[in-house]
Structure 1
Amino acid sequence: MALNRLFASLVITPNLIARRSVHVAAVNFASKPNIDKPKPGLGKSYRRIVHFPDEYTVKPLEVTNLAGRDPVSGRVIAKGIGGGIKHKFHWIDWVRDGPTEGPPQEEKVIQVLEDGCRTANIALVAVGDKLKYILATENMKAGDIIKSSRVLPRIPVRANEGDAYVLGALPSGTVVHSIEKEPGQGGLYIHAAGTFGTILRRQDDRIIVQMPSKRLFSFNQLCMAVVGRLSNIDHGDTPIGSPQRNRWLGNRPRSGLWQRKTGKHGRKIKPPKPVKEIHLPTQKSLPAIRMTLTKP
């Protein structure tokens, strides 16, 4: 299209454009094709690619670090990502399922450990003859027995920390996390370390929950939620301490070209302003009034 417009302009005004300029424009257009650079966000991670197997496993998964680059084109998308300590990825089972009638399902916490690919700690849980990873709560420890149930009772249940129930079964004021968007889809909301939501009230068959951002979300009463605050509550208050530790966390420093006191957006070094003399205001005498007896 750009070449067509260029040749059309040649037909209209042939004397204004030289042959050399046409050649340069054609070369520049051919050497710089219109490439759509992907934008960060939209659910894409430019930090790492996790190689998931076909079936769920508690074995640590292999990870390919991207360093802020697009995995297809190799172009740098996020400039602040790079380096960092290499971590294995632990596959979290987001679906806390339970029986729809009868007593709740009991699960035992085997171990609570740190995960380098997320802020909150994780817990290894045994359910029958299976093992799975879940997000650990603030006071969860090895040996705890947690419960899961999808029963919607007439009277709200008194749940303990780490238990998973439907939102309609929990009383107002309960602290929850890992809330489902739709029943059966798995915990989608509130995953970060030290965060929690609060059940405020019921509206018909909907449950109003205050999110960590203080916004109010309305969920289906059959959506599962885990009781308690997420672990590692000091994550947001812990200082980084040194540039090297920031590199360990996978944060790439700036280019170094920007300086505080120079450059277009830096603080300028300007000479001081001249001395300003302060004086009392001088009182000027009023002009004399001349009075005559003649008509103007």
Structure 2
Amino acid sequence: MSCLARSFQKLSLNNIVNVQTIFLRNKAKYVEKPTPGIGIAYRRKVHFPDQYTVKPLEVTNLGGRDPESGRIVVKGIGGGIKQKYHWIDWKRIGPKEGPPVVAKVVKIIKDGCRTSHVALIAYEDQLKYILATENMKPGDIIKTSCHIPRIPVRPNEGDAYPLGALPIGTQVHAVEKYPGVGGFLVHAAGSYATILRRTENKHIVIMTPSKKEFSLPQECMCTVGKLSNADHINTPIGSAQKNRELGNRPRSGWWQRKTGRFGRKIRKPPPVRVFSGPKPEAAEEVSLTVDRPFAKTLRAHFHY
């Protein structure tokens, strides 16, 4: 009887295992597909070290795929020549009082991962990369200061000052969105923002290349000048092979450019967008409740 019971037990266990394997094999794995256009790039992934360095960083080409799930998110990306990434130091930190920090431009190089050129600068015993301006060349001296004087300064190309320290009409780039977060606006080659006016709440209104106006705190840092490689937008690709080297896959032959025969829609720019700082945390609401209803009497007061 014991041998018979043991054989029936093995038979039942084998049947259960086979049923489970068949069920798991046919079960579909649900993977949430990310949405493009929310600040995540699916062209390349840069391997940043723990500390800042001027050594070119390694890059993994994603080809339009999500790095976690491996699913294609953006079509039209793939191939391309392998490029090294130069880590840009977006924060230009200077003294709030006293003379500015002086740095020297060592060299200007091309970066395959961005459109504008990159400048290697040296100050004291440190090296770092910044975005190069249009007329910047090796040997130039640039200044950085966080002081806002009563009279606007007269800056040179490559100098970094707060928006409140510059005169109206100055061309700037790498503008901070909030004080201390680093250059956030205007990074493309040949682009610049213009300082338009000052407001009563110590804000500076600038106009970006897209004709949008932003009202930013006067303490936000920016770099003076127009970005380099202005002919980037006017340089034709020339051939399909060159487009593949840039990392773009061929598109469908059915796509045709709009000829503009019926004109274009002319829309007015959006209103000025004010950046006053990060939103404060909502205060905790305290609600008082009464268990018994109000009882109105003939007298001039209420009983609870």
TM-score bin, normalised by smaller chain: 0.7 to 0.9
Q: Percent identity?
A: 63
Residue equivalent to 2:161: 165
Residue equivalent to 1:175: 171
Partners of 1:114 and 1:35 lie apart in 2 by 39
Give, in angstroms, the shift of residue 34 of structure 1: 4.6
Residue equivalent to 1:88: 84
Partners of 2:193 and 2:85 lie apart in 1 by 26
Over 3 Å counting, the alpha-carbon distance change for 1:34 and 1:229 in structure 2 is same
Residue equivalent to 2:36: 40
Partners of 1:142 and 1:198 lie apart in 2 by 26
Partners of 2:68 and 2:248 lie apart in 1 by 22
Residue equivalent to 1:251: 248
Partners of 1:170 and 1:207 lie apart in 2 by 10
Residue ranges of structure 1 left out of the alignment (5+ in a row): 1-26, 262-296
Q: After TM superposition, list the pairs within 5 Å mapping 1:5-16 onto structure 2.
A: none
Q: Which amino acid aligns with 2:196?
A: L
Over 3 Å counting, the alpha-carbon distance change for 1:164 and 1:246 in structure 2 is same
Q: Which amino acid aligns with 1:74?
A: G
- Misfit runs of 4+, over 2 Å: 30-36, 258-261
SS of the residue 1:234 aligns to? helix
CA RMSD of superposed structures (Å): 1.6
Over 3 Å counting, the alpha-carbon distance change for 1:62 and 1:198 in structure 2 is same
How far does the alpha carbon of each residue in 1:49-69 deviate from its partner, in whole angstroms, 9 at most, with x for none?
A: 111110000000011111111
Residue equivalent to 1:219: 216
How far does the alpha carbon of each residue in 1:198-224 deviate from its partner, in whole angstroms, 9 at most, with x for none?
A: 001100200000111111100100100
Q: Which amino acid aligns with 1:229?
A: K
Partners of 1:157 and 1:43 lie apart in 2 by 35
Give the TM-score, by structure 1 length.
0.75
Residue equivalent to 1:149: 145
Partners of 1:87 and 1:260 lie apart in 2 by 30
Partners of 2:255 and 2:232 lie apart in 1 by 29
Residue ranges of structure 2 left out of the alignment (5+ in a row): 1-22, 257-304
Q: Which amino acid aligns with 1:245?
A: K
**Contact 2:45 2:62 (C-alpha < 8 Å) held by counterparts:** yes
Give, in angstroms, the shift of residue 36 of structure 1: 2.2
Give, in angstroms, the shift of residue 185 of structure 1: 1.0
Residue equivalent to 2:71: 75
Over 3 Å counting, the alpha-carbon distance change for 1:88 and 1:260 in structure 2 is closer
Residue equivalent to 1:101: 97
Q: Which amino acid aligns with 2:128?
A: K
1:58 equivalent in alignment to 2:54: yes
**Contact 2:172 2:226 (C-alpha < 8 Å) held by counterparts:** yes
Residue equivalent to 2:124: 128
